[in-house]
Chain A
Amino acid sequence: MATAIIETTSLTRNYGDICALKPLDLQVPEGEWLSVMGHSGSGKSTLMNLVGGLDRPSAGSLQVGGKDLLALTEDGLARFRREFVGIIFQQHHLVPYLSAVENVMMAQYFHSVPDEAEARLALERVGLGHRLKNRPGELSGGEQQRVCIARAIINSPKLLLGDEPTGNLDHKSTVMVMDLLKELRDEERFTIIMVTHNQEVAAWGDRTIYLDDGVLVREERMNS
């Protein structure tokens, strides 16, 4: 088995009295595609936020890419997010008044410096070479989500997190987005963790874990 890119022991997150994530032990090997399923409120997003460095755990240990996220300073954590993680949400969070290519360049800007040719290439890779200058409002949901994918992978992250990226898409678009992600992963060899309510979507992954009320209840390995 490849080295683990994510390693948690007794990872816990409390919001006051609410325990969103009960002590969790999880290992994700490098290059794996892990699907996360569970009821609403079961702590899926909480887990993603912790792993992506958007939130800090209440207890336990959390190692991502060999870094102890609990030991990092705010600056270190920001840097980690910038250089290590790409995130795609259900809501696209694209800047409405910037074009597709500018939205991608924005991510480059926050990472280092913008590079238009590279942003354009990224959009071409997700099949939007013909919609570079369109604003998010002029794109379909599936196209918007593909812009998000381009934005998420532009900085070559080691870890791609998806929080229900296909939640708002119809079947056809979902397939297209998932196909694309698979293709990109085969090329770039990043690790994917994807939250979904859709069994079919989960099946794209190598492994699925089920959370219930903050507890890992079941684990299932796919044999594609």
Chain B
Amino acid sequence: MVAIKLIPHILSWVGIVLILLRGFPERKRVVAVAVGAGFALGVAGTFFLFRSFPGDFSFSLIRDVVGGSFLLLWGIAVASIYRSTVRNFPLSWGERFFASIFFAGVGAFMSGMIAGAISVCRLGTSGGMLMLLILVLVACVLVFESLAIERLLPPSFTVSNSALMAGVVALLLFSSSSILRLDLFSPLSMKVMKFTHDFVHQFFESMLIPDHLFIHIHLWRYIGLLFGKEVGFWGGLIIWFAPAILIALAISFERLPSVAHIRQGAQRRTVVATAIRARRFRLVVPGITILVLAGAGYQSRFPAVEYWDPKPIVISAGPSGEIVIPLKGEVDLKDGKLHKYLFSQGGKEARFFVLMTPTGQLTVDLDACAICKPDGYGQTEGTVLCYYCKTLIPLETVGKPGGCNPVPIHFTEKKDGVYIDGLTLINTWSTTVQTTARVKEGSK
């Protein structure tokens, strides 16, 4: 069972080690030691991190580190495209740094560390020290295996610096995207959606472009696409794949060696053909990277997790307009699970849920957030998930407003149950949810 859970991580681990070994062919030993040591330290560090800060902080820390490496990859991608298209681009110091033993060691160490941390996130710390020791051992054995496999790869298969970075980061993303709470793609598309909306709005205002009142409806429909739900997904995809694609482009734009000094045509062509062949081989890793990123994006879009998604219980208010839900009736409100209710009054409906957070606090929230279409939430390990934008909200923060968090509702907790004002509920639902629904759908 544990082994099956670890399959994506093991695959990525072997891939990372292989790419690192090929990327630094002169420093294989340094790389092997550094990556192994990094893994061990990553595992140990994460273990203690989870011990000291159980819950969301540790996860988001590791997720941010992975995200940081993705940002770094973006930098490398842009630099490499500049390098291969701009004459005399000042980058020689960067290349010297890449070629140094320091970089090989530190890079391998960091990669190992992140990979180790991700594996611990998957395993959890409940297995204790022994489990983690076995994990480190397995990783080290795999490093040795990879050393052997690497020798079998064809010698013409070389990895450029930028492709090395792309491959390692993509595999780390692949590894982390199989863990819901480390997932980066969904928050990315969410941010992209928000950015696009803001940007289009700001752009219209800045450029004094008239409102939809004055513009042809069919034209406005196209503009409306920018406010639609898919824009986050597609924009996210672009940002997700762009670094790998840029690196691949940079490699294919690389200048071929000058052969003007050779006076025999056949020899000239041989040199050029050899260079083209080598260039094609260097494209292999970016190509694989794109596939790995696609895999990571897929895992994130269609996570292999079961949701707790209860059917809303229809409920009505008493004569005073107050809804009362008993603490221990048909359902136990304090069992830590999501309990959904459907309330209707005067032809209007509102969906909400009651949940006890891990800190022991009851919270009542709309089954919708202020940003997305009200598709509602499901519950998974340690989080609730917005079905619409696939954002995970840690249980600890449910009950706080903002972002894609469920909109909190005022309530009073008494001995016998939870009291909610029906009118407030309906009003909150119509003001927040109806507007989001209208913006999202109405502009279409």
Contacts and interface: CB of A to CB of B under 8 A. Distances in A.
Interface stretch (A25-33, A107-115, A137-145, A166-174): A107-115
A113 B266 contact: no
B270 A108 contact: no
Interface string A111-133: 11101001001000000000000
B269 interface: yes
A156 B276 contact: no
A83 interface: yes
B273 interface: yes
Contacts of A112: 266, 269-270, 272-274
Interface string B240-284: 000000000000000000000000111111101110100000000
Contacts of A155: 266, 269
Nearest to A156: B266
B265 A83 contact: no
A3 B88 CA distance: 48
Nearest to B267: A156
A121 B270 CA distance: 18
A154 interface: yes
Contact of B273 (A113, A118, A121): A113
A156 B272 contact: no
Interface residues of A, number: 11
Contacts of A156: 264-267
A83 B266 CA distance: 8
Contacts, number: 31
Contact of B272 (A113, A121, A154): A113
Majority SS at the chain A contact face: loop
A156 B273 CA distance: 16
B266 A111 contact: yes
Interface string B303-334: 00000000000000000000000000000000
Q: Is the interface of B mostly helix, strand, loop or mixed?
A: helix
Contacts of B273: 111-113
Chain A CB within 10 Å, residue with most, of B265, B273, B274, B276: B265
Interface residues on B, range: 10 to 19
Contacts of A113: 269, 272-273, 276
A83 B264 CA distance: 13
A163 B272 CA distance: 32
Contacts of A118: 265, 269
A113 B274 CA distance: 10
A156 B267 CA distance: 8
A121 B265 CA distance: 10
Contacts of A121: 265
Contact of A108 (B264, B267, B269): B269
Contacts of B265: 115, 118, 121, 154, 156
A118 B266 CA distance: 9
A83 B273 CA distance: 13
B87 to A, nearest CB: 23
Contacts of A83: 266, 270
B256 to A, nearest CB: 10
Contacts of A115: 265, 268-269
A108 B270 CA distance: 10
B418 to A, nearest CB: 76
B156 to A, nearest CB: 13
A201 to B, nearest CB: 27
B269, B270, B273, B274: most-surrounded residue (chain A CB, <10 A): B269
B259 to A, nearest CB: 10
Contacts of A111: 266, 269-270, 273
A154 B264 CA distance: 10
Contacts of B269: 108, 111-113, 115, 118, 155
A163 B267 CA distance: 26
Contacts of B264: 156
Nearest to B269: A112
Nearest to B264: A156
B162 to A, nearest CB: 25
A216 to B, nearest CB: 33
Interface in B64-84: none
A118 B264 CA distance: 10
A23 B264 CA distance: 38
A154 B276 contact: no
Interface in B327-350: none
A112 B273 CA distance: 5
B51 to A, nearest CB: 57
Nearest to B275: A113
Contacts of B268: 115
Given A111-B269, A111-B270, 5 more contacts: A83-B266, A112-B269, A115-B268, A118-B269, A121-B265
By Cβ-Cβ distance, the 5 closest A-B pairs, closest first, are: A112-B273, A112-B269, A156-B266, A118-B265, A155-B266
12 contacts: A83-B266, A108-B269, A111-B270, A111-B273, A112-B266, A112-B269, A112-B270, A113-B272, A113-B273, A121-B265, A154-B265, A156-B264
Interface of A: 83, 108, 111-113, 115, 118, 121, 154-156
Interface of B: 264-270, 272-274, 276
